[in-house]
Amino acid sequence: MSEADVGGGGSHRWKFFRACGLDQVMFRNGQDLARLAELDQKLWVVLSCPTRGVMFDARTLELIDTDHDGRIRVPELLDAVQWAVARLRDPDELMRGAVALPIAAIQHATPEGTKILAAARRILANVGKPEATQITLEDIASRVDVLKQMRLNGDGVVPPTATDDPEVRQTIVEMIRAMGGETDRDGTLGVTLPRTTTFFQAAEAYVAWWAQAETMPEILPLGPQTAAAVTCWQVVRQKVDDYFARCRLARFAPEAQAPLNCSADDFAAMARQALCLSSPAIAQLPLAVIAADRPLPLGEGLNPYWAAAMEAFHRQTVAALLQRPTPTLTEAEWQALCDRLRPYEAWLTRQAGAEVATLGVARLRHLLASGVRARIESLIAQDSAQECEHALTEAVEKLILLHRDLLRLLNNFVSFADFYDPKRAEIFQAGRLYLAGRYCDLCVAVDDVDRHAMLAATSKLYLAYCELSLPATGAKRHICAAVTAGFSETLWVGRNGIFYDREQRCWDAVIVKLVEGPISLKEAFWAPWKKMATMVSDQIRKLVTARQEAALAAAARSVEYTAAHAAGGVVPPPPSLSPPPAALPSKMDGAAMASSVAALGIAVGLLGSAVGGLLGTVSKLPLWKSLLGVVLVILSVSGPSVILVYFKLRSRDLAPVLNACRWAVNRRIRMTMLLGHVFTQEARLPEGAERQLTDPYADKNQGRLTMLLLLLVLVLALVAWLWWQNGLDVCLPAILQHGPALRRP
């Protein structure tokens, strides 16, 4: 990494460091932080980042994210820097990144700093450390716990336990039951000033609505019993109207009387079903027997489905309103009864304050007259007066967190200093993945694998998407790992590994998706040779398979021919003495086979001639030229692949991977080959380790030994032939040279 001083932003001179070709600002002191707003945002590496999926203190990000949209943007980060600088005596204090905030470091020359300083000293005094010279998050947590346990803790929510007044406590309980409550800092439900106002306004409206009924006797003809009477009336009203309507039709058309009642066929259809008195089929029958001008019986002769409802209606409504027992109800009496109950029904539609109706009008009148509302509002005001103390406590907490975390966030936002430092981990790095004889440190958390893969493909990195599962809890998540060293042939969908997160929890990992890209020059060098070896092996396999199938087919035809002639009593002549039978291949097949054999012989001859010519040419060249030719052949095969992959490796960019994770990356983040070997490392034996080369479980294959001996014989024969052709004289001493004198005539 190279460094350079660059002027800009007025008289302030910035210092930049270079990593992977990217100039990034270096934070040397507090003045660099204080003047950060002057740095051109085009030079920032990141313009925004999410608050989820990053390995950073969630509370710090929550305090910086002032609009609570789940993203940290440049203005919010600048505001946090300026807020912290304004409340510290020396901005260099932010460069320490210490967990504890010295009390002496807090600014005391400004009103804001003075309040925070006083609050910090009160917090230390409340937790029993009045002489402490520094404050930590543990002290804040202790203070917050104390505030939560206080009856009035400054959140504007008053639970029933906040008072010893039994009437106030009972009223708060009733308010919560009627209208719900809000959660206090201690976790219990309580009431707030807006909720209290709403409750008592509803109570006043409900009481006024009841007062209207009490001043109009026609609304409550039975007084408090009117509600029960109207309820019974509403249950049977539709069925009674139906009865009198049928009776009128029977008077109008006597011939309609029979159809208006149930016929025998109707009952026959019902008889074929399983019946009970609560059956809907019975409910649909007339309320009583239909006849012209017939009054409604209120006792005997009623539809059994409606018997209970009619009995309640008779007792609660008819007898109460008529003030006399009656076995029947005429249509005129029914209409008069309905007219007396309709005002109450209309009054119900104008009901106000329904949310507090469960308390009853008497209880609500008592609450309105007792002055309990004023006592509850006074209690809420006392609680809200403590809010200033909570705000100051939160300000002290924010200053401690920024004192500890701000520089690290800047080194992962304005610049990527942590990313290029092997001793540190970037906040987007989720952990370390062990897989296929290597580990990968460049792992990011992913929510949607397919969406992320589509956006990250332009990075030209080899990406392995893994599903993680934590056996202890059954939790699942996904990561994207950049593989920047080793070979890709050892990676495939379904391969298992393990993943250690930043808390050192061990997750089971399995590859679910691969986005292919170049990994290393080593893989590029061997790739053409592996393809050639695969092609040769495939061709040999195809040839052997074809010959095997042809031999099996010929044997099958021979067996069929022999069996056919044996069944006919004719013994076939020996194959060597008899011509091919008709069942065997035709003359055209034999000609084709002969042509194939001839072509194969010609090919072998040409290959032998080519090899012989090549060896003859090589034997006439000096040894160094022969070796140079071998090197040129290797380079001609592997060179293009290596060159192509080299340029691809130089174009790798981490920015698309982060952009797919909702980062707004402002600069290109090149992944050089050296940096790639930092983030992905293959398995190596420890330094100083001993290796036992004898493998007691090695395959003892005689065929392999035979092949090795044959190869050795061929090599010795080649060397002898070269020596016979004087091809080795240039590199042998005179006594071992073949020489012209020893040549054959």
- The string of pLDDT tens digits covering residues 657-696 is 999 999 999 988 888 888 888 888 888 888 888 877 777 7
CB burial class (10 A; 0-12, 13-18, 19+) of residue 250?
Answer: buried
Cβ atoms 465, 482 nearer than 8 A: no
Cα distance between residue 723 and residue 408, in whole Å: 71
Cβ atoms 20, 672 nearer than 8 A: yes
CA contacts within 13 A on the Cβ side of 474: 0
pLDDT less than 50: residues of the chain: 7-9, 576-608, 611, 741-745
CA contacts within 13 A on the Cβ side of 516: 8
Say which residues have a Cβ less than 8 Å from residue 132's Cβ, sequence separation at least 6. Answer: 103, 124, 139
Question: End-to-end alpha-carbon separation of the chain, Å?
Answer: 71
Residue 434, classed as helix, strand or coil, is strand
According to DSSP H, which parts of 568-654 are helical? 587-619, 623-650
DSSP string covering 241-275, please? HHHHHHHHHHHH-GGGHHHHSPPHHHHHHHHTS--
The helix or strand, by DSSP H or E, that contains position 399, with its residue range, turns out to be helix 387-410
Cβ atoms 441, 479 nearer than 8 A: no
Q: In terms of Cα–Cα distance, which of 93, 144, 88 is closest to 394?
A: 144
Mean pLDDT across the chain, nearest whole number?
82
Percent of the chain with pLDDT over 90: 37
Cα distance between residue 377 and residue 662, in whole Å: 46
Backbone angles phi, psi at 28, to 5 degrees: -95, -30
Cβ atoms 190, 177 nearer than 8 A: no
CA 438 to chain centre: 26
Cα distance between residue 712 and residue 183, in whole Å: 87
pLDDT in the model for residue 649 = 82
Cβ atoms 208, 352 nearer than 8 A: yes
Cα distance between residue 139 and residue 396, in whole Å: 10
CA contacts within 13 A on the Cβ side of 592: 5
CA contacts within 13 A on the Cβ side of 501: 18
Cβ atoms 308, 236 nearer than 8 A: no
Per-residue DSSP letter, 157: -
pLDDT in the model for residue 585 = 45
- Kindly list the distances between the CA atom of residue 704 and the CA atoms of 266, 537, 585, in Å, as whole numbers in the listed order: 97, 17, 39
pLDDT in the model for residue 622 = 64
CB burial class (10 A; 0-12, 13-18, 19+) of residue 353?
Answer: buried
CA contacts within 13 A on the Cβ side of 268: 3
Residue 433, classed as helix, strand or coil, is strand
Cβ atoms 452, 663 nearer than 8 A: no
pLDDT in the model for residue 728 = 67
Q: Do strands 438-440 and 680-682 pair parallel, antiparallel, or not at all (unpaired)?
A: antiparallel
The helix or strand, by DSSP H or E, that contains position 463, with its residue range, turns out to be strand 462-470
Residue 612, classed as helix, strand or coil, is helix
pLDDT in the model for residue 566 = 66
Cα distance between residue 400 and residue 57, in whole Å: 12
Residue 498, classed as helix, strand or coil, is strand
Cα distance between residue 434 and residue 681, in whole Å: 10
DSSP bridge partners of 665: 46
The helix or strand, by DSSP H or E, that contains position 23, with its residue range, turns out to be strand 22-26
Cβ atoms 351, 209 nearer than 8 A: yes
Cβ atoms 449, 489 nearer than 8 A: no
Per-residue DSSP letter, 621: S
Backbone angles phi, psi at 412, to 5 degrees: -120, 10
Per-residue DSSP letter, 353: -
480 token code pair: 């994207």
Residue 507, classed as helix, strand or coil, is strand
- Tabulate helix, strand, coil % of the chain (nearest 5): 55, 15, 30
Residues in the chain: 745
- Kindly list the distances between the CA atom of residue 593 and the CA atoms of 348, 551, 561, 587, 589, in Å, as whole numbers in the listed order: 106, 12, 20, 10, 6
Q: In terms of Cα–Cα distance, which of 224, 527, 179 is closest to 356?
A: 179
Q: Do strands 664-665 and 46-50 pair parallel, antiparallel, or not at all (unpaired)?
A: antiparallel
Query: Three-state SS string across 715-735, please?
Result: HHHHHHHHHHCCCCHHHCCHH
pLDDT in the model for residue 500 = 94
Per-residue DSSP letter, 444: E
Cα distance between residue 118 and residue 108, in whole Å: 9
Cα distance between residue 279 and residue 290, in whole Å: 21
Residue 132, classed as helix, strand or coil, is coil
Quick: pLDDT tens for 123-168: 898 888 889 999 998 888 876 666 655 666 667 888 888 888 899 9
Cα distance between residue 640 and residue 330, in whole Å: 109
- Buried-exposed string 171-193: b where 16+ CB fall within 10 A, e elsewhere: bbebbbeeeebbebbbeeebbbb
185 token code pair: 């800092």
Cα distance between residue 229 and residue 221, in whole Å: 10
